[in-house]
Amino acid sequence: MRAARLPRSAFQTRKPTRAGRPAWKCAEEYKRWLRRLPCVACHALGDRTNPIVAAHVDHAGGKGTGTKVADRHCIPLCDHCHQEQHRDGWRTFEKKLPMQDATVVASAFWQQWPGRVAWERDLVEQAGAMRGAL
């Protein structure tokens, strides 16, 4: 008598569902604003063939396995410079940047963002509403 065949799924481990990034790490409007600025490294304005991207400065802190740093640690780079940054690494690439420190540059852009105060206020309100719901 043949042994019963188990379905293939019996041998596959299930991945846990992702909870998503916490609200304090997400600032989509900020990244949208950054993408309208010129590249901080080469000053390109960005176009269809070389768009501006919001590049996360990984060594700014808060990066974990499987998660990015907070969006507030982004800088505007054209796609070519972003690829160069990935190829060379932040420590080499940031020598081309103003102040030669990507975290300082990211902080300066965050402070200049016109929507920052409203975003921070909304975050505080969301946190208060969550505490009240517990």
Domain assignment of residue 27, yes or no: no
When pLDDT is cut at 50, 70 and 90, the band that residue 67 belongs to is confident
pLDDT of res. 91: 92
Beta-bridge partners for 64: 67
Domain assignment of residue 8, yes or no: no
Domain that includes residue 36, residue range: 32-133
pLDDT digits (tens, 9 = 90+) for 2-59: 666 666 555 555 555 556 778 888 999 999 999 999 999 999 999 999 999 999 998 8
Domain assignment of residue 16, yes or no: no
Domain assignment of residue 92, yes or no: yes
Domain assignment of residue 22, yes or no: no
Instruction: Please state, in angstroms and rounded to a whole number, the distance separating the CA atoms of residues 115 and 121.
Output: 10
Domain assignment of residue 56, yes or no: yes
Tokens of 89: 């690494």
Say how many domains are in the chain: 1
Phi, psi of 71, deg, nearest 5:
-60, -25
Using a cut of 0.85, tell me whether the model's pTM lies above it. no
Domain assignment of residue 25, yes or no: no
Instruction: Work out the average pLDDT over 88-93.
Output: 94
